[in-house]
Structure 1
Amino acid sequence: MIGSSPTLTWLNVLIGFLFILFDSLLSLILGLGIGGSLIVAAARCILQLSIMGLILDKVFASNNIWGVFGIAVLLNFLGAFEATYNKSKRRFNNMFPLILASMLSATVPISILGTRFAMAQNPFWQPDQYVPVLGMILGNAISAIGIALNSVHKEFSENKDKIETYLAFGASRFEACKPVGKEALKLALLPTVNQMSVIGLISIPGMMTGAIVGGKSVEQAAKLQMISASSALSVLLALCFSLTTLVDSRCRIRPDRLDSRKPIFYRYRDAAGEKIWKGIKSLKFWGRKERGSEEERRGLLENHRD
């Protein structure tokens, strides 16, 4: 029986944060330009995990199926938001609801089947078992969807001649989009394939690590891996939605349905930040008195030149 793990405090979090600060300092010295992103990502991670911990504590304590259902919907909603607005450089029309539908259609059934039959949990919605599995599946699905859609959108934005050629020679929408979809799916699943090839030999996956820390035997923890099927299914659905949006039913490429701008709320955020920064810079000039009108300054310059 594995002993209980020690209780972590905010001091432990601070010690871990020091490594992020070191990476940021290294980025500043080498001019990598990612130091600020590292700090923001780390702060965001701490905030998100703190909030999630408070919510999950209540869900685990209630042991209620509706609480688990609500968490599942919330996690899928946040995952779709992340995949749409943060992982994708370009967005197609109605991308958020379509990505949400693809993630719900893939992650929820597979997580239910996995916990009920692969993990032999009865009932399947046992919070301390089902929620971590769903979170693991969603994490892999978000990364895979982001890679696949970025590949597709790049093809339609920068290299759509090949697709137009297929369509011009009478290819159907499916035939014209098939090479693009296959390449995007291959790229999306490549990290999963690479990860699975070293699992158990070099690396210990997160779900297995969590199970071991939680007190399960190593043999039991090794049986908790079920990530590739969910990633493939969610990516396939997302690709279908993307390709059928960018090539309509009349076999026309629709670049007008692809938006390369930042999401509108990020544009508002940047505009507000720019105004605040201008206001801060203008504070340097407060209290200074004008020493003359514009005409007087021009006259002084002309006299100086003479």
Structure 2
Amino acid sequence: MDAPGGDQGTADLTWENVGLAFSFIIFDAAISRILKLGVGTSLVTAAVRCVIQLTLVSLVLQKVFEAKNPWGVAGIAFLLNLMGTIETVVNKAKRRYEHMFPSVLFAMLFSTIPVSIIGIRFAMSVDPFWKPEQYIPVVGMLCGATISGIVVACNYVLKELYENRDKIETYLAFGASRFEACKPIATDALRLALTPNINQMSVLGIIAIPGMMTGAILGGSSVQQAARLQMVIMFMISSCTALASIVTTVLALSVVVDAEHRIRTDKIDGRPHAVWRARDRAFAWLAAGLKALWLKVTLPIRKRTKSRDEGEEQERLLG
């Protein structure tokens, strides 16, 4: 019998393999263009980002794994949460509330760090818990799952407060506190945020074999050990998502519905993030500058052409 992780393991992959897999994305983009779905550009952009980000992460993590420095691991964990916060606030959120960035960062750190430490040290029996090859991938999975929960919860809360404020104001007018008036919105937001995790756990093992379990099997672990590892990871993800969604929902409601029980829609910003507004202004400025430069360069040519045309016209009339 072949030893686990021997010849049965994954082959060494090259950029040619990645390019072949990327052709699947090109196929999807072509289908999107043919059917006019409007997601082809997003697919290709996301795929290119995936390649760049994973390449950079692999270079950084290789150094961290070799160093085995707990402070390096802590720095990577904080960086993952910071990047997750930026992705949530800048790219994913349709609306933002005042002080959303520090609120989301706090929620992510408050959920991913304690859950990862307790889960890895006790549920996964890893000592010390900060082993880079164990801790960093788990924190990355927790951050990725937490982003989805936060985005769903915040988008729903801000949408309801902005578009359906009349019902909340009626509750407040009849003497309800801000948390009593907003409780139905918070309940629905958290239900929506947790539904994907519930659905995912309900189909694991019967319909879907998740990536963590597959990776453990390919790495040489027994199927039973891989299944138990996946159970632990899924329970950690669910706990982390729930905790982060609750914290961000409470913070969003606390900011938008103030201590005087007023709905402050002026604290909700539905415009594109300032980063994208600055990008659009920079592009507009660049386009205007290029247009002015083009006009300046072509002005002598246009004058000569105009003069020649006028001269030919005069000769034609005199002739």
| TM > 0.5 | yes
Greater percentage in helix? 2
What secondary structure is seen at the aligned counterpart in 1 of 2:10?
A: coil
The 8 Å contact of residues 111 and 244 in structure 2, kept in 1 or not, is answered as yes
Q: Tell whether 2:244 aligns with 1:237.
A: no
Structure 1 equivalent of residue 316 of structure 2: none
Shift of 1:41: 0.8
TM-fit CA distance, 1:229: 0.7
In structure 2, do the counterparts of structure 1 residues 11 and 274 end up closer, same or farther at CA, with 3 Å as the change threshold? farther
Specify the alignment match of 2:262 in structure 1: 252
Shift of residue 30, structure 1, vs aligned partner = 0.9
Q: For 1:66-96, what per-residue CA distance to the aligned partner results, in whole angstroms no more than 9, with x for missing partners?
A: 1111111100111111111111111111101
How has the CA–CA distance of structure 1 residues 212 and 280 changed in structure 2, closer, same or farther, with 3 Å as cutoff? farther
Tell whether the 8 Å contact from 2:142 to 2:237 is kept in structure 1 after alignment. Answer: yes
In the alignment, is the contact (CA less than 8 A) between 2:90 and 2:275 conserved in 1? no
Aligned to 1:303: none
Alignment of 1:188-267 (within 5 A): 188-224=193-229, 225=233, 226-267=236-277
8 Å contact kept, 1:163–1:176? yes
For each residue in 1:48-67, what CA deviation from the matched residue of structure 2 results, as whole angstroms up to 9, or x when unmatched?
11111111101111111111
The answer on 1:183 being equivalent to 2:193 is no
Q: CA deviation at 1:292?
A: 5.2
What is the deviation of 1:215? 2.1
Counterpart Cα distance in 2 of 1:94 and 1:231: 21
> Distance in 1 between the 2:113 and 2:132 partners?
14
Structure-2 residue corresponding to 1:94: 99
Matched, 1:157 2:162: yes
2:173 matches 1:168: yes
Superposed displacement of residue 282, structure 1: 7.6
Number of corresponding residues: 294
CA spacing shift, 1:60–1:261, aligned 2, 3 Å: same
Residues 5-27 of structure 1 show CA distances to partners (whole Å, capped at 9, x for unaligned) of 21111111111111111111111
Counterpart of 1:127 in structure 2 is 132
Correspondence 1:289 to 2:292: no
Bigger Rg over Cα: 2
Partner AA of 1:89 in structure 2: K
Question: Could you tell me which of 2, 6, 10 is aligned with 2:5?
Answer: 2
Name the amino acid aligned to 1:235.
S
| Distance (whole Å) between structure 1 residues aligned to residue 175 and residue 238 of structure 2 | 35
The amino acid across from 1:270 in the alignment is D
Whole-angstrom CA distance in 2 between matches of 1:279 and 1:33: 30
Q: Which of the residues 32, 51, 59 maps onto 2:56?
A: 51
Q: After the TM superposition, which of the residue ranges 278-287 and 218-227 deviates more from structure 2? A: 278-287
* Contact kept? 1:20, 1:39, Cα under 8 Å: yes
Deviation at 1:159, TM superposition (A): 1.2
Taking only the aligned residue pairs, the percentage that are identical comes to: 53
State the alpha-carbon separation in 2 of the partners of residues 187 and 282 from structure 1: 51
Change (3 A) 1:28 1:252: same
Deviation (angstroms), 1:280: 6.4
Which string of whole-angstrom CA distances, capped at 9 and with x for unpartnered residues, describes residues 154-175 of structure 1?
A: 1012111111111111100110
Cα offset for 1:283? Answer: 8.4
Question: In structure 2, do the counterparts of structure 1 residues 132 and 90 end up closer, same or farther at CA, with 3 Å as the change threshold?
Answer: same
Q: 1:213, CA displacement in angstroms?
A: 2.3
What is residue 315 of structure 2 aligned with on the other side?
Answer: none
Query: Is residue 136–residue 207 contact of structure 1 (8 Å, CA) maintained in 2?
Result: no
**Contact between 2:95 and 2:158, CA under 8 Å: does it hold in 1?**
yes
Query: Bigger shift: 182-191 or 266-275?
Result: 266-275
TM-score of the superposed pair, with normalisation by structure 1? 0.91
Gapped runs of 5+ residues in structure 2? 311-319
TM-score of the two chains, using structure 2 as the length reference = 0.87
- Structure 1 residues 29 and 281 mapped into 2: Cα distance closer, same or farther (>3 Å)? farther
Matching of residues 51-90 of structure 1 within 5 Å: 51-90=56-95
